[in-house]
Amino acid sequence: MEKTSNLIDKAHSRRVFLAGAGTAAAAGLIAGCGGKSSSPATTTTSPTTSYTDADILNFALNLEYLEAQFYLYAATGKGLEATDTAAPSGYSGSYTQGTVTVGNATQVAGLSSAQQEIINEIAYEEQEHVRFLRSALGSAAVPMPSIDLSFFGPLAIAAGILTSSQPAFNPFATFDAFLVGSFIFEDVGVTAYAGAAPLISAAGVSAGYLTAAAGIMGVEAYHAAYVRTAITAGAIAAGSATAFPYITYANQVAALRATLTVGASAAPGTTGSVETALTLPASMTSASSIVAASPTTAVGFSRTVDQVLHIVYGSPTVGVAKGGFFPSGTNSIFATTTA
Amino acid sequence: MANLETEILDDVIARSRRKMLALGGAALAGLVLGSPKVAEAASYSDSDILNFALNLEFLEANFYYLCAFGCTIDKPNAQAISAGAPSAGIPITGSVGTAGTVSGGAKVSFSTIQAASYANETAIEEGKHVLFLQSALGSSAVAQPAINLGSSWQTLGQAALGSAGTGFSPYVNDDTFLIGAYVFEDVGVTAYHGAAALLTSSSNLTAAAGILAVEAYHAGLIRTTINAVDSTGSLGLISDTNSISSLRATLAGQVAPSPASAYDTAPDDFGLATFSVALAGASSVMASRIVDADATNVIAFSRTTSQVLNIVTGGASYNASTKALTSPATGVFFPSGLNAGPNGFK
């Protein structure tokens, strides 16, 4: 019951969710929603101007730790092995290994064998991404930061899926709820790698890092397509969004992500946005909306590191260094929002 | 270790003006790539690479337009126009080469909104890729090559499925459409992946990465749908994907997985057969294979332009005894080969 009350406290209001590290962050979005906003007073940090290829890969590693924990819990009820989360041998950096706030994370109940195989696949693939990046980084790999898997509840409230008076949204409750939980991550993963790829140095390109990043981006896009197709197919089969509300939930998540994408926060599907909402095809001449891409060119989107941070911290505010899925911040040179 | 794969790749290196980029030796220690691929040094221009991609997009766009709308991309089609296509159709002329014709193809008689809406979406998106690349290339853009979307399917069907595939047409129903689409999409991913590191312009790289992502979305869409439609394997579609992936791997000079469920051999393509994985907390469980990626690092596959060419021309241009690709490569989908400038890929 203690966990439940903590969740409810956390989920108490949109304000708390958006606060991330502090109330100033909440003021940012609420003012933004009102149409007029001035930058709230927060700790300001100079934008990171100098980074190495290792910094970029380590930022990606932080995201992979998060995804792997989510999918592994959904698949098996357990997270990454200790050997996959500790600082590597010879690590001389300053980041420390965090813990996972499990919340109600558990193996998703009531799965068909086909559904279990899907979750097993994605869990395996994200687990291997963690291992690949740690191997690529060697002794420079950062240990896992603290991860909060109970953040889905507050996030769902912020997205408008549920109100704070309802039981917290639980992506581990059913397969359909799991799909919505997955939806939160996958399109973001694609845009994060797409944004990171051009940052890799010429030496890094020669060393194969660009190819590796592009290949992982491809895998994230396969995952995103799975989730978007499964939700769309569910809605088509049910006949309406009323009968299958998960498509609405996913679109509420997409709208929230758009809001949090500082600098490109237009509504999904509109000019300047990096989000594409799902559609429910109504006839044989309708088009689905599985791909998240520019409506003009059908080229996929990218996000800056800063925009990704805003999403995983659940805050649109500059100067925020932790919150959301990363309650102690990322173990990365990219830990504080800069715009 | 010289095997077929390395011999073909060595040949590719020797025959091109490319130099192999050194792997490793950079600031980071111990990057473990599944198996070192040929890295093609950037002695081709970005335009050559984008034009190679444009040839492939002409192929894909025409296939999906035919399936969804029953016409080729250059024809005005009300449904396509309402979704944003140019009112006069998509241009197929260019400054290099003569616009070729498209043979074969027909509108699919879809029976479900699901398959129809996927075809509609994909057609529009591939058409936009043609337009985008034409715009990016400007006066350097090649014309549409001659494309065979009719008898090529029977040739491929026989190669992939044996006698059962000799009459294959993707235009019959939902299931045949899905299998036809399956033939293209994972290849698009590997082609853009292989091209990404060759591009010199940052904006071109960003665009290529963005299109790579879209091709992977399409591939994921098709694989997810086949996996769901034939969840027990009784329709034979899962088996078809394994056969097609094996054929592609073979045409790319790689080793086909044997058995199809083997995950630790080293092909560059996997069908939808389930496989066993070890997870934290569960030592051996069965998993689907929506993602077409290598076993160990789960990084999407990458192919060189020569490997892609050999797949889309059906291997007719690969001489097994000399282990060389004839140039220009022709056959199957591209009966007259690709359109390319004097230094381009063909």
Task: Provide the 8-state DSSP code for B106.
Answer: -
Residue owning tokens 């064998």? A113
Q: Cβ–Cβ of B30/A78 closer than 8 Å? A: no
Chain A residues lying within 8 Å of B197, measured CB to CB: 205, 210-211, 214
Based on the structure, what is the number of domains in chain A?
Answer: 1
Burial state string for B130-155 with b = 16 or more CB within 10 A and e = fewer than 16: bbbbbebbeebbbbbbbbbbeebbeb
Residue owning tokens 């390109």? A205
Residue B147 lies in domain: 45-325
Check residue B43 and give its pLDDT. Answer: 66
Q: Cβ–Cβ of A290/B217 closer than 8 Å? A: yes
Based on the structure, what is the number of domains in chain B?
Answer: 1
Burial class (CB in 10 A: 0-12, 13-18, 19+), A245: middle
Structural domain includes residue B330? no
Outline where B3-112 has alpha helix (H): 4-15, 46-69, 78-82
* Tokens describing residue A74: 């959904």
Structural domain includes residue A146? yes
Choose among B31, B128, B277: nearest Cβ to A208: B31
Structural domain includes residue A124? yes
Average pLDDT, integer, range B181-194: 93
Structural domain includes residue A321? no
Structural domain includes residue B337? no
Structural domain includes residue B8? no
Nearest CA in chain A to B123: A287
Dist. CA B1–CA B10, nearest whole Å: 12
| pLDDT over 70 at B262, yes or no | no
B27 touches chain A (CB under 8 A): yes
Q: Cβ–Cβ of B217/A283 closer than 8 Å? A: no
Torsion of CA B53, B56, B60, B63, to 10 degrees: 150
Choose among B83, B113, B217: nearest Cβ to A284: B113
Average pLDDT, integer, range B114-140: 96
Chain A residues lying within 8 Å of B202, measured CB to CB: 198
Structural domain includes residue B23? no
Q: For A287-333, what is each residue's pLDDT tens digit?
A: 999 999 999 999 999 999 999 999 999 999 999 999 999 999 999 99
Burial class (CB in 10 A: 0-12, 13-18, 19+), B49: buried
Three-state secondary structure call for residue B314? coil
Check residue A33 and give its pLDDT. Answer: 32
Which of A319, A324, A323, A325 is CA-nearest to residue A338? A319
Residue A253 lies in domain: 2-31+40-313
HSE-CB at A18 with a 13 A cutoff on CA atoms is 24
User: A277 or A12: whose pLDDT is higher?
Assistant: A277
B95, amino acid identity: S
| pLDDT over 70 at A27, yes or no | no
- Per-residue pLDDT band for A40 (boundaries 50, 70, 90) equals very low
Choose among B23, B120, B213: nearest Cβ to A194: B213
Structural domain includes residue A326? no
Structural domain includes residue B210? yes
Choose among A116, A210, A293: nearest Cβ to B125: A293
Alpha carbon B293 to its chain centroid, in Å, reads 14
Chain B nearest-CA distance from A33, in A, is 30
| pLDDT over 70 at B7, yes or no | no
**ipTM of the complex as predicted:** 0.86
B345 touches chain A (CB under 8 A): no
Torsion of CA A124, A125, A129, A132, to 10 degrees: 80
- Per-residue pLDDT band for A39 (boundaries 50, 70, 90) equals very low
- Per-residue pLDDT band for B296 (boundaries 50, 70, 90) equals confident
